[in-house]
Chains A and B, each alone.
Chain A
Amino acid sequence: MTEPHVVGAGMIDFGELYEQSFDDLLESAYLSLLENVDKGVDPSDIDAAWYGTIDIANEGSSGSAVAHATGLFETPITRVENACATGSDAFRNAAQAVKAGDAEVALVIGAEKMTDSTEGLIASAALERLWRGRGVTMPAYFGMRATRHLEEYETTREQIAEISVKNHENGTKYPHAHQQFECSVEDVKESPTVSYPLNLYDCCPVTDGACAVLVTSEDRAREFTDDPIRVAGYGLASDTFQRGAPEALTNFPATRQASSQAYERAGLGPEDVDVAEVHDCFSITELITYEDLGFCEEGKGGQFVDEGHPHLDGDKPVNPSGGLLSKGHPIGATGVAQIAEIFEQLRGEAGAVQVDAPEVGLQHNIGIGRNATGAVSCVNIMERP
């Protein structure tokens, strides 16, 4: 058994990358990683790879897609698909293999072409189903939590919008973000209704992107960098509102379970987290996640953002990179890009969005599956060794 460490990250600019193929995205992320490892990495050093994609563009569903894009044909490559937790679960699997001593140098790479599909995610509203999510799109699934949260707690529409304002502001300072504009609470509320109670600026954009990170054993980490970041813990859990728990109507019990596992493995608690990259596919998702990760009490997510805690200069900065709302959400790449940001934050290399001397960082995804009846959450915690 060894402690897994992140020793490098390769991020690319997210956006509407029509001119780039799926292979191009994978190549770009891989080449960016090779270029950015402090002491360099030779492709022959890589023992194994984990590949995250939900393959919306139907371009490369198996590990062989990564072999084609990297040339790593003799290397074991495993494809991971776990809804919006795809990238973070690919990372978790790589960390587990390194921890077990089976792989010493593991590549994690995630990619998604969201703009190649003409009907987009609207097509996920299972039309030919009776009870399993017929007519339920992603904004609907998350919007349901917003409706109930507004009803049950003192949460206001303005507090939900404030998260979008915060993340767009952060995104203007983050070079790889897709949507680089600032907006006001009024702008959010006046943008077109997508799925009441959510408006356009409450929703993440449709974005292409890819990202890669390198995970190694403790012994090998300093071959690649003098400043590795330890993977302290991880967790993964599923849930569904169909189980009848009242909290599943306002929040995500899957996040509570996944984060509990991760905190326990790391020997840390929510109070120890200095910076977090969390799943804000919609503004309401981030608000709920403050509560589910234990950053504030249940029902107090609105107050938490109102008081400025998750802002860039707050005491618990969340989504310094602009989050999914600004950076974009190319599903397979999303979690890997969040890991890359936490890695940079903990190394003090986050540029204009650098928070003040963080020691512990948390990454979180929540996704939906089974025709919008299931939820899956993955949480990874990293710390300076």
Chain B
Amino acid sequence: MSGPRYDRTKRQDQRLIGFECQACGWVSFPEEKRTCKRCGDAPAEMEEVQLQERGEIQTFVVQQYLPDDIETPQPVAIVDLPQEDGDGEPARAYGLLTETDLEEIDVGTEVVARFRELFSDGERPIDSFKFSVPREEKA
């Protein structure tokens, strides 16, 4: 359980790069795909797009029971990450929240992406993003 699995999408994981289907506008993240999950275009013409380091919570839960490696309570959300240039569709993905309480989040809350070490593969840290409510908005 290490090595290639994390290297395959390392660039996307660490730089928030998505891929937009030129037939229907769907954005793949983080996988670079040759088929479109929405319109079924195959082979699909996919163009690289930069996603913003922020997202909007579409829905969320706060988990109380998880394996010991994750602190609880752990809020986790489905977040939409808009494209950098503001055009097109956002990418939709799961996001773990950090330094965030249940009272601070709702459907529609904007969260910012924070670069973190998520876990170790036994030899090296695996880094990517978690999300939190912008600090200036914290009471």
- 1/0 contact string of B63-80 vs chain A (CB within 8 Å): 111110110011011100
Within 8 A of B (CB), among A131-145: 131-137, 139-140, 143-145
Partner among A139, A147, A192, A373 whose Cβ is within 8 Å of the Cβ of B107: A147
Q: How far is the CA of A193 from the CA of B64 in the complex (A)?
A: 7
| Contact (Cβ within 8 A) A243 B96 | no
CB-based contact A135/B61 at 8 Å? no
Known: A130-B128, A148-B107, A249-B78. A125 touches B67 (CB 8 A): yes
Q: Which of B63, B69, B92 contacts A244 (CB 8 A)?
A: B92
B38 within 8 A of A: yes
Task: Report the minimal beta-carbon distance from A242 to chain B, rounded to whole angstroms.
Answer: 6
Residues of chain A with a CB closer than 8 A to B96's CB: 134-135
Alpha-carbon gap, A146 to B78, bound state (A): 13
Most chain B CB within a 10 A radius of its CB, from A122, A131, A133: A131
A122 and B67 in contact, given A130-B118, A136-B76, A241-B78 (Cβ under 8 angstroms): yes
Whether A135 lies near B126 (C-beta < 8 A) is no
Query: Is B61 a contact of A147 with CB atoms below 8 Å?
Result: yes
Question: What is the interface size of chain A, counting residues whose CB is below 8 A from a CB of the partner?
Answer: 39
Contact bitstring A89-130, B, C-beta under 8 A = 1, else 0:
000000000000000000000000000000100110101101
In the complex the two chains form, is B93's CB within 8 Å of A137's CB? no
Is B65 a contact partner of A134 (Cβ separation < 8 A)? no
Of A23-31, A194-202, A212-220, A375-383, which binds chain B? A194-202
Chain B nearest CB from A248 CB (Å) reads: 9
- CB <8 Å contact, B59 and A137: no
By a beta-carbon cutoff of 8 Å, the part of chain A in contact with chain B is 119, 122-123, 125, 127-128, 130-137, 139-140, 143-148, 151-152, 192-198, 240-244, 249, 372-373
Residue on B with the closest CB to A152?
B107
A196 touches B38 (CB 8 A): no
Verify B9–A130 contact, CB threshold 8 A: yes
The answer to whether B11 has its CB under 8 Å from any CB of chain A is no
Contact B60 A127 (CB under 8 A): no
Q: A131-B93, A243-B26 are in contact. Are A147 and B59 (CB under 8 A)?
A: yes
The answer to whether B61 and A144 have CB atoms under 8 Å apart is yes
Residues of B whose CB lies within 8 Å of any CB of A are 1, 6, 9, 13, 26-27, 29-30, 37-38, 58-67, 69-70, 73-74, 76-78, 89, 92-94, 96, 102, 106-107, 118-119, 121, 126, 128
Q: Complex formed: what's the CA distance from A316 to B107 in Å?
A: 33
Chain A residue nearest in CB terms to B27:
A244
Complex contact A240–B37 (CB within 8 A):
yes
B83 to chain A, nearest CB (A): 13
Contacts A242-B93, A249-B58 given: A127-B38 contact, CB under 8 Å?
no
Check B89–A244 contact: CB distance below 8 A. Answer: yes
Residues on A with C-beta less than 8 A from B76 are 135-136, 140
Contacts A244-B26, A244-B89 given; indicate if A128 touches B119 (C-beta within 8 A): yes
Among A140, A143, A144: residue with most chain B CB under 10 A: A140
Given contacts A137-B65, A249-B59, 18 further A-B contacts (CB under 8 A): A122-B65, A123-B67, A125-B70, A127-B119, A130-B13, A133-B94, A135-B70, A135-B96, A137-B63, A140-B63, A143-B61, A144-B60, A144-B77, A146-B61, A148-B107, A195-B63, A195-B65, A249-B78
Known: A130-B118, A131-B94, A134-B94. A151 touches B63 (CB 8 A): no
Task: Tell me which of B13, B62, B69, B128 has the highest count of chain A C-beta atoms within 10 A of its own C-beta.
Answer: B62
* Shortest distance between the CB of B103 and any CB in chain A (Å): 11
Docked pose: A192 CA to B73 CA in angstroms? 13
Of the residues B9, B30, B61, B78, contact of A197 by C-beta under 8 Å? B61
What chain B residues lie within 8 Å of A132 (beta carbons)? 94
Distance of A288 Cα from B107 Cα, bound (Å): 18
Contact partner of A139 among B61, B102, B106, CB < 8 A?
B61
Whose C-beta in chain B lies nearest to the C-beta of A242? Answer: B92
Asked if A139 meets B29 with Cβ closer than 8 Å, knowing A130-B128, A151-B107, A243-B37, the reply is no
A240 to B91, CA, bound (A): 13
Distance between B66 CB and nearest chain A CB, rounded to angstroms: 6
Which of A144, A194, A197 counts the most chain B CB atoms within 10 A? A144
Are A148 and B58 also in contact (CB < 8 A) when A135-B70, A242-B93, A243-B38 are?
yes
